[in-house]
């Protein structure tokens, strides 16, 4: 399995570097920020279900997926979170988390353009939109780090 934890850390560093210049690279930042969250959640799925490769049977006691193959959620960030019921339950208790996660998934506020599709976009964000995205990114990263003990 890929080193999702390491990839997440490097993508977070990339986000910081892209935000640093006087004219930040908004599209690349939002794209890589989404990838960072995706990788972070995938690394937690592996730990949560005690798997070393996608397709292996989940080994978490008392989990509905115990004994069933654990599939790669692809780019589905919300789906990845739902694959860890204990963590998802906490996210549902915190409505801000799900709101901020929605901004990460659809940074332009439209369902047609998700964080993966930004790689094909040519229209940059406004300074206000970037500020809101950055707030959401920091919230989600902090929330995941704070709540990972349920894993």
Verdict on whether the full-model pTM lies above 0.75:
yes
- pLDDT score at 2: 92
Asked if residue 140 lies in contact with residue 40, where contact means CB atoms within 8 angstroms, the answer is no
Under DSSP, the state recorded for 118 is G
Per-residue model confidence as pLDDT tens digits over 60-74: 999 999 999 999 999
pLDDT of residue 13: 95
Give one word for 74, left, alpha or beta, with left for phi > 0 and alpha for psi -120 to 50: left
pLDDT tens-digit readout, 61-117 = 999 999 999 999 999 999 999 999 999 999 999 989 999 999 999 998 877 789 999
Residue with tokens 């204990």: 86
Q: Which token pair is 66?
A: 């115990």
Cα 72 vs. chain centroid, distance in angstroms? 14
Q: What is the mean pLDDT of residues 38-43?
A: 98
The reported pLDDT for the residue numbered 114 is 94
Residue 97 or 123, more confident = 97
Proportion of the chain above pLDDT 90, given as a percent: 83
Angle of CA points 148, 90, 139, to nearest 5°: 65
pLDDT in tens, 3-15: 999 999 999 999 9
Query: In total, how many domains does the chain have?
Result: 1
| pLDDT, averaged across the chain | 94
pLDDT at 69: 98
Host domain of residue 43: 4-150
Q: What are phi and psi of 24, to 5 degrees?
A: -65, 155
């Amino acid at each position: 399995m890929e080193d999702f934890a390491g990839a997440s850390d490097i993508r977070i560093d990339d986000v910081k570097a892209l935000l640093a210049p006087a004219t930040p690279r908004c599209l690349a930042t939002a794209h890589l920020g989404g990838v960072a969250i995706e990788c972070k959640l995938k690394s937690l799925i592996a730990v949560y279900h005690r798997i070393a490769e996608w397709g292996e049977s989940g080994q978490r006691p008392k989990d509905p997926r115990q004994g069933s193959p654990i599939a790669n959620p692809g780019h589905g960030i919300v789906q990845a979170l739902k694959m860890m019921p204990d963590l998802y339950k906490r996210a549902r208790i915190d409505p801000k988390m799900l709101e901020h996660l929605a901004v990460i998934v659809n940074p332009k506020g439209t369902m047609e353009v998700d964080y993966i599709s930004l790689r094909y976009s040519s229209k940059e964000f406004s300074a206000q939109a970037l500020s809101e995205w950055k707030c959401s990114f920091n919230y989600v990263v902090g929330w995941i780090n704070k709540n990972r003990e349920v894993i």
